[in-house]
Amino acid sequence: MIFRQLFDKISSTYTYLIASEKGREALIIDPVLENVERYIQLLKEIDLKLVKVIDTHIHADHISGIAELRDQTNCVTIMGDKTAADVVSMQVSDEELIKIDGLELRALFTPGHTSESFSFLMKDRIFTGDTLLIRGTGRTDFQNGNPRDSYNSIFNKLLKLPEGTLVYPAHDYKGEMVSTILEEKKFNPRLQVKSVNEYIEIMNNLNLPNPKLMDVAVPNNLKLGIDLNKQKINNGIEPKEFNKFLSEKNNIVIDLREQSEIDKNGKINNSITVPFPEIGDYLNNNKHKLHNKKILFYCAIGQRSTLAVQISKSYKYNNCLHLIGGLKKWKLEGF
């Protein structure tokens, strides 16, 4: 496995790059916008293809690099399913697996610092976002934070992991880089409490100033997605119209989601599955089959399908359309 811990000096954010030696597919957790060129450079230098990028939660202290990475690499953007950020092309639920070639991460819903925070477990290590920090815990006084949820997430979920599990947080302000569950259990001052009420008492009396960038970062991070207008301009069609095309003969319907999403939310009849990261190869290898066909793409909320239309054009497929708002909108409109 390839593993890099990258640091942003301004916001003291840790960004993680994970990849499999064999498949050369990479995943990035909590990227910072200002450092995107550095990530891209590093990916090139060690010969990796970025396929997925995750934000553990909506950050208040920096603007996420998730959208810029999507625009530059066509990677899938992932957050937990409680988030209000519109950038997310694939929402994961508690316990859902996120796969890249040769590696998998388990999503764990760990609210408290924010109401939508997730942690991600990969074998011997956990990426805790701001839920659990080294000798600290993420503040719970904004973004629907809640000290009781924080306590439950930490005590009933994270501290239940094997004690040797490595803890990699999203921030550290003192230069600490990694800890373990055992160390935090024993030495994290906020966790030396006898009851949930004692923890709540501590968290409610931290009296911290708001992060400097909060008023800029939060609204920005909520709006990094490919909105419905942009989806429409890229050969997007509304669900009703999409359905008309479904009944036509000379078409091929491609579902760009992953198996875990299909298992969770079902699919449109007669569609074939080509997970978004594989779409370039699929188009390249099936020129005969796709010749003269109309391609109809769809995904969860229309972001991956917008990108798929753009990719198709680069392979000279011009007869392709995609479902605006994805399966979510299609269902909302009663189909």
Cα–Cα distance, 230 to 199 (Å, whole number)? 45
**Does 130 participate in binding Fe ion (rule CB under 5 A)?**
yes
Shortest Cβ distance from residue 211 to Fe ion (Å)? 8
Distance set, CA 192 to CA 90, 131, 197, 207 (Å): 37, 16, 12, 20
Shortest Cβ distance from residue 57 to Fe ion (Å)? 6
Of residues 130 and 258, the one with the C-beta less far from Fe ion:
130
Burial state string for 117-137 with b = 16 or more CB within 10 A and e = fewer than 16: bbbbbbeebbbbbbbbbbebb
Shortest Cβ distance from residue 114 to Fe ion (Å)? 7
- Using the contact rule CB under 5 A, the part of the chain among 21-29, 128-136, 157-165, 239-247 near Fe ion is 128-136
Strand pairing class (136-137; 25-29): unpaired
| Region 150-179 residues binding Fe ion, contact defined as CB under 5 A | none
Q: Which long-range contacts (C-beta less than 8 Å, at least 24 apart) are formed by 281-286?
A: 283/311, 283/312, 283/315, 283/317, 284/315
- Using the contact rule CB under 5 A, the part of the chain among 122-130, 192-200, 217-225, 325-333 near Fe ion is 122-130
Chain position whose Cβ is nearest to Fe ion: 130
Shortest Cβ distance from residue 61 to Fe ion (Å)? 7
Per-residue binding string, Fe ion, 71-110, x by CB under 5 A, is: ----------------------------------------
**Does 30 participate in binding Fe ion (rule CB under 5 A)?**
no
What DSSP assignment string belongs to 206-250?
--PPPPTTHHHHHHHHHS-S--HHHHHHTTEE-HHHHHHHHTSSS
Of residues 127 and 330, the one with the C-beta less far from Fe ion:
127
Residue ranges binding Fe ion (CB under 5 A): 130
